[in-house]
Amino acid sequence: MKRTRFLPVIVSALALSLVSCDDKNSSAGSGMDSDGGTDTAFSGSVFEGAGEFIPCEHYFFADAEKDPNRESFAGASSDEATQLEESKGTVGMTCMNLNNPFFQLIAQEMEKAASAAGYTLKAMDGKGDAALQNTQIDEFITQKCDAIFLNPADSKATGSGVRAAHAAGIPVFTFDIQMEDIEVQKLVTYHVGSDNYQGGRLAGESMMKATGGIGKIGIINLPEANSCKKRVDGFKDYLTENNSKLEIVAELNGKGDRVKGAEVAADMLAAHGDLVGIFGINDPCALGAWASVKEAGKLEQITIIGFDGSPDGKIGVFEKKLYDTPMQFPGQMATKTVEAFLRYVAGDEL
């Protein structure tokens, strides 16, 4: 793939916020071999291409009690980005939602790491719209960006943008969410994400522990995101492999949003008043579900588990709204993506 030189472009102001869903392919493992190297032969699903996956960790009340940083994401740095007089080039970045603190942090950390290496990061908000992201990718191509960092709002629909960038000779690095189409995965230069499948298994483990493994439960999902599908797969596989007697009676799309999460949780409760648990594929959905469970007067009956370990999710665990929020490390995700780009620029094999 050819490497295109760029004219420096002024950095777009980062309008930061968050939501999260990342993308991973491991089964019970962490995606790392015994020597600490990345193992791309994941058993959770097929992965075609170079990449690395960061294991998730449980985050329980005991963790929240002793965590002085529960209002911030682990892995974030407080140093200001190094400002250079002249940029080596520009990297275009688009993510599904810059109003989600998860992606805000990733954008901030990417900007710092890129700036320290002499590059300008132009971050754009995909607003959950794959068509908009494809347009943004076209803009990055026109601007002759040195690379594109992509967190797809839709794991399939942004494939056309990846194909266009590849045809233009611009490397694409995906983060958090992996592309769905295997042929498109092969066009991606590198992927960095969380081990969502493994994180989903952690959620399943917690649900069984909190409920005793018996009763009716619901899942608030986000099927447009490959990473979130893997969370659900890991959750279900853990229940099956451990002979759980939990019955999944509802799976509804919460769009990764707190308000929508509350709406679909209310629908679940209306149809199944005897639920004992709800798994939300991210913290906004889980916290939205908590609001509906509280409104229904069923807080003592229903266990809620989130995902991400976001600041709000951690506080939710501390306030005993959530039982667990399998934790991702967005700061690491951001810096590892920039590091992969710099290795690519240096001509190293990825």
Average pLDDT over residues 36-50: 45
What DSSP string runs through 241-286?
HTT-EEEEEEEEE-TT-HHHHHHHHHHHHHH-TTEEEEEESSHHHH
- Give the separation between CA 2 and CA 73, rounded to whole angstroms: 36
> What CATH superfamily is the domain 51-195+330-345?
Response regulator (3.40.50.2300)
pLDDT at 74: 58
Report the mean per-residue pLDDT for the chain. 86
pLDDT tops 60 at residue 28: no
pLDDT band at 71 (very low <50, low <70, confident <90, very high): confident
pLDDT at 32: 32
Written in H, E and C, the secondary structure of 316-329 is HHHCCCCCECCECC
Start-end of H helices in the chain = 61-65, 101-116, 130-142, 159-167, 182-185, 196-211, 226-241, 258-271, 283-295, 311-318, 330-345
pLDDT band at 50 (very low <50, low <70, confident <90, very high): confident
Give start-end residues of each CATH 3.40.50.2300 domain in the chain. 51-195+330-345, 196-318
pLDDT at 102: 86
pLDDT band at 339 (very low <50, low <70, confident <90, very high): very high
CATH of domain 196-318: 3.40.50.2300
Taking alpha carbons only, the member of 99, 326, 101, 109 closest to residue 228 is: 326
Between residues 81 and 150, which one has the greater pLDDT?
150
DSSP class of residue 28 equals S
144-175 pLDDT, tens digit per residue, is: 999 999 999 998 999 999 999 999 999 999 99
pLDDT band at 308 (very low <50, low <70, confident <90, very high): very high
pLDDT at 52: 92
